[in-house]
A and B are shown apart, each in its own frame.
Chain A
Amino acid sequence: MKVNARFRDMLLWILIAVTLGLAASASLLLFLGKNPIAAYGLLAASVIRDRYTFADIFVKATPLMLTGLAFAFTYKANLYNIGAQGQFYIGAIVATAMSLFLGARLPGPLSLPIVFVATIAAGGLWGSFVGFAKARFKSNEFLISMMSTYVALAAMNYLLRTALIETKHEYPQTNPFTPGLWLPILVNGTRLHAGFILAVLIALLVWLLLFRTPLGYRIRAVGYNADAARLAGIDSGRISIATFFIAGTLAAAAGFTETNGVQHMLVQGFNPNIGAEGIGIAILANANPVGIIFASILIGALKVGGAIMGQRSGIPASIIDIMEGFVMVFVILSSFVRSGLETRRAKRILRSRTK
Chain B
Amino acid sequence: MDAPFLEIRNVTKLFAKVVANRHVSFSIGSGEVVALLGENGAGKSTIMKILYGLYRADSGEILINGRKQKIDSPKDAMALGISMIQQHFSLVGVHSVAENIILGNVKGIIDRRGCERRIQDLAHTYGFDINPSALVRDLPVGAQQKVEILKALFQNAKLLIMDEPTAVLTPQEAASLMDFVRRYAAAGNSAIFITHKLREVMEVADRIIVMRDGDVVGDVPRAGTDEKRLSTMMIGRELPPLPEEPAVPPRAGEMLRLERVVVRDRHGVVRLKNLSFSILEGEILGIAGVSGNGQQELCEALCGSLSLASGRIVLNGQDLGNLGVRERIQLGIGYVPADRQKDGVVMEMTVAENMMLKSSFDPRWRKGIFLDRVRIAAYAKEKISAYSIRTPGPEAVVKGLSGGNQQKLIVAREMDNGSRLIIFDQPTRGLDLGAIDYVHKAILAQRLMGKCVLLVSTDLSEIFALCDRIAVIYQGVIQGIFLKAELTTERIGLLMAGYPDTPHVNDAFSE
Contact = CB atoms under 8 A, between A and B. Distances in A.
Contacts of B358: 232-233
B357 interface: yes
A218 to B, nearest CB: 6
Nearest to A217: B360
A10 to B, nearest CB: 15
B349 A232 contact: no
B348 to A, nearest CB: 5
A351 B360 CA distance: 39
Contact of A233 (B344, B349, B361, B370): B361
A229 B360 CA distance: 10
Interface in A168-183: none
Contacts of A224: 346-349
B353 interface: yes
A227 B342 CA distance: 6
Contact of B357 (A212, A213, A232): A232
A231 B361 contact: no
B128 interface: no
Nearest to B356: A217
B16 interface: yes
Given A227-B343, A228-B342, A212 B325 contact: no
Interface string A214-227: 10011011001101
A351 B356 CA distance: 35
B424 to A, nearest CB: 14
B371 A225 contact: no
B24 interface: no
A117 B77 CA distance: 67
Contacts of A232: 325, 329, 357-358, 360
B347 A225 contact: yes
Given A214-B365, A221-B349, A231 B16 contact: no
Interface size class of B (residues with CB under 8 A): 20 to 34
B305 A214 contact: no
Interface residues of A, number: 25
Interface string B339-375: 0001111111100010011101100011001110100
B427 interface: no
A227 B340 CA distance: 11
A46 B365 CA distance: 51
Interface in B387-415: 395
A229 B305 CA distance: 11
A134 to B, nearest CB: 18
30 contacts: A3-B395, A212-B371, A212-B373, A213-B370, A214-B366, A217-B353, A221-B349, A221-B360, A224-B347, A224-B349, A225-B342, A225-B346, A227-B342, A227-B343, A228-B346, A229-B357, A230-B305, A230-B325, A231-B335, A231-B337, A231-B343, A232-B357, A232-B358, A233-B327, A233-B329, A347-B16, A350-B16, A350-B17, A351-B16, A353-B17
Interface of A: 3, 208, 212-214, 217-218, 220-221, 224-225, 227-235, 347, 350-351, 353-354
10 closest pairs, A vs B, by CB? A233-B326, A233-B325, A225-B346, A350-B16, A224-B348, A224-B346, A232-B357, A212-B370, A232-B358, A233-B329
Interface of B: 16-17, 303, 305, 324-329, 335, 337, 342-349, 353, 356-358, 360-361, 365-366, 369-371, 373, 395
